[in-house]
Structure 1
Amino acid sequence: MKVLVVSDSHGSRKALLDIQKHYGGELNAMFHCGDSELHENDDALKGFQVVKGNCDWNGQFPEEIVQQVGSDVFFITHGHLYNVKMTLMNVSYKAREHNATIVLFGHSHIVGAELIHGMLFINPGSIALPRNRKEKTYCLIERKEKMVIVSFFDENHDELIDLRQEFFI
């Protein structure tokens, strides 16, 4: 299983189109965690499953997506409705209602991944306006049996090795 995750592109069509071109059809899924600021029919969102962020006024996106990819159930939300800038507790309760194994969210523009009580939480950062790092980021998630590898990349598709993590779930 190989899944690409972006968030908080804030109108940056070029970044999204470049990601689509770079990865072609080699992915099982592509998720956008909101604040695209694009219309749902925009070519830059082609192939992405997109949730609504607090800055998305141009499209009719769902507030959350629950999607099974391989053996994992993904819960995708922007995060503003769950106060993710303060705590992951609220979003974890909602994700548990869906038996999610992986939670994807954005909103804070801060890249990160952590395993909490068997559930993996991932924020891909922002492909347009990063915080706490200079690089604009997105994420790739790969499952290899019981191991999930989370890799983060900059806008030039160079891996940020210091952010790479492996989790056993």
Structure 2
Amino acid sequence: MKIIAMSDSHGDRETVKTVSNLSGNAFFHCGDSELSFDDPLLEKFHTVRGNCDSDHRFPSNVLVEIGDKKVLAVHGHEHDVKRSMMMLYYTAKEQGANIVLFGHSHLYGAEVEDGILFLNPGSTRLPRGGNEATFAVIEWDKTLRISFQNLNGEVIDSLEIKNFTKEH
């Protein structure tokens, strides 16, 4: 299975178009798209509302089954992710999520806690920390492979986790 995640595009239609043209089983936008709910560019995305999104038709979170995984997407501002992952961790446990996607901090990164992958794809518009604009590609069979890519599709960072099975 392969999912593509992006976040914090802040009205930049070209970055959304670039990511949407990729091949994957599911696409997620973790908020602050600043596009309207019915914008055709977001048609193939599971999209959540960020703190800069004015269209309140976006849900604050989505929980989707992709293959044998439950994927939870949020923006992160309602979970205070800039200070701590604790609120998001408890939400993930309550929802039974295996993979949690979030944005808000504009910093890409991934970590596994109690068998749950927490991933921030970074920002495609306003990256922070001296990073390039990024999105994430997550693939799995028995091995979980994560790559953070720039908008030219070049891998700038990656991570591989063995034995990421249904129990995780």
Normalised-by-shorter TM-score class: over 0.9
- What is the 5 A alignment of 1:60-75? 60-75=57-72
CA offsets per residue over residues 112-159 of structure 1, 9 Å max, x none? 0011121110000000000113310000000022x1111010011111
Q: Which one of the candidate residues 132, 135, 155 is aligned to 1:135?
A: 132
**TM-score w.r.t. length of structure 1:** 0.93
Distance across 2 between alignment mates of 1:134 and 1:99: 32
Corresponding letter in the other structure for 1:123: N
Mark the runs of 5 or more structure 2 residues left unpaired by the alignment: none
Say if 1:74 and 1:103, in contact at 8 Å, map to a contact too: yes
Which residue is equivalent to 1:148? 144
Q: Tell me which stretches of 4 or more aligned residues in structure 1 moved more than 3 Å.
A: none
Mark the runs of 5 or more structure 1 residues left unpaired by the alignment: none
Distance across 2 between alignment mates of 1:81 and 1:134: 24
**TM-score w.r.t. length of structure 2:** 0.93
Which residue is equivalent to 2:96? 99
Number of aligned residue pairs: give it: 163
Distance across 2 between alignment mates of 1:133 and 1:103: 24
The percent identity for this pair of structures is 42
CA offsets per residue over residues 15-73 of structure 1, 9 Å max, x none? 1112222x1xx311000000000001112212011000000003510000011101111
What do you get for the CA RMSD once the two structures are aligned? 1.0
Distance across 2 between alignment mates of 1:19 and 1:75: 19
Which residue is equivalent to 1:164? 158
